[in-house]
Amino acid sequence: MSKSNPLERAFTLLDIVVSSGRNLSLNEIVQISNLPQSSTFRLLSNLVESRMLSFDSGNKTYSAGPRVERLGLFVTGQSSLKDVCKPALDHLAESTNETSFFVTASQHGNTLLDYTVPKTGANTYIHPGTEFPLHATAAGKVIHAFSTDAPHALPASYALTAYRTETQTDLKALQDLFVEIHRQGYAINDGELDQDVYSICVPVFLRNTLAGALGVVGPKSRMLRNGLISSPDLANSLRQAADEISVLFK
């Protein structure tokens, strides 16, 4: 190995961690690679930042990251939607400390495909649910807004059930809302189906076709305390994850 080539050294460290089949500490990686500890730490930090590796702050060890896991799926030919989404869901759950989820869109109704709760953090998490009304959930709203060329239109037989006082049931207001969701690229649910539940979703397109919605859900009070609701970073993180899923699912 040419120790003067940073890229080659980074790939070597990546190979050491992934091929080990277990989590490795910094000292173990230094011993195996024979690289200086300062250089090893710097390269590992870059690999973690790019999500090629994951770092467990609890036991101070490194393991394969979500990007490596997704690449592995395609090398082995395992490219089901659930497999492709799983690393993205894991990353979103860990970075937000809330539940991440994916809802598939179909003519027969929107269906929860998969969800992930974080491994560390709070003890109570919100299940994303099994029903996604298009006027009262972030997933339902964003799927409807992007599933038609006329996002303001509603099915003639659709019942605007008032689940809570926060549920929007005014037809004109909903039509305007769907147009706005289509413009901004995401939808939220602010206690419209269940009390103190906040979620945000973005659309996911596979091969130029709407496949569903990717989102995060949690208690509004906790998400407010953690700055997730006021920050634009959450919507941007969801868009980035959705784009990665779209690119990888070929």
**Regions of the chain short of the pLDDT cut 50:** 1-2, 77-78
Q: Within this chain, do residues 190 and 107 fall inside the same structural domain, yes or no?
A: yes
Q: Within this chain, do residues 104 and 195 fall inside the same structural domain, yes or no?
A: yes
Number of domains in the chain: 2
- 182-197 per-position pLDDT tens digit: 999 999 999 999 999 9
Instruction: Give a yes or no: residue 178 inside a domain.
Output: yes
Give the Cα separation of 250 and 229 in Å (integer).
33
- 65-92 per-position pLDDT tens digit: 877 775 665 555 445 788 889 989 999 9
Q: Residue 230 sits in which domain range?
A: 69-248
Q: Within this chain, do residues 100 and 190 fall inside the same structural domain, yes or no?
A: yes
Q: Within this chain, do residues 82 and 189 fall inside the same structural domain, yes or no?
A: yes
Q: Within this chain, do residues 57 and 74 fall inside the same structural domain, yes or no?
A: no
Instruction: For residue 3, give the nearest of 36, 51, 44, 48 by alpha carbon.
Output: 36
Q: Within this chain, do residues 48 and 130 fall inside the same structural domain, yes or no?
A: no
pTM score, whole prediction: 0.70
Q: Within this chain, do residues 57 and 110 fall inside the same structural domain, yes or no?
A: no
Instruction: Give a yes or no: residue 1 inside a domain.
Output: no
Q: Within this chain, do residues 168 and 232 fall inside the same structural domain, yes or no?
A: yes
Q: Within this chain, do residues 93 and 206 fall inside the same structural domain, yes or no?
A: yes
Q: Within this chain, do residues 186 and 78 fall inside the same structural domain, yes or no?
A: yes
From 17, 49, 64, give the residue that closes a domain.
64
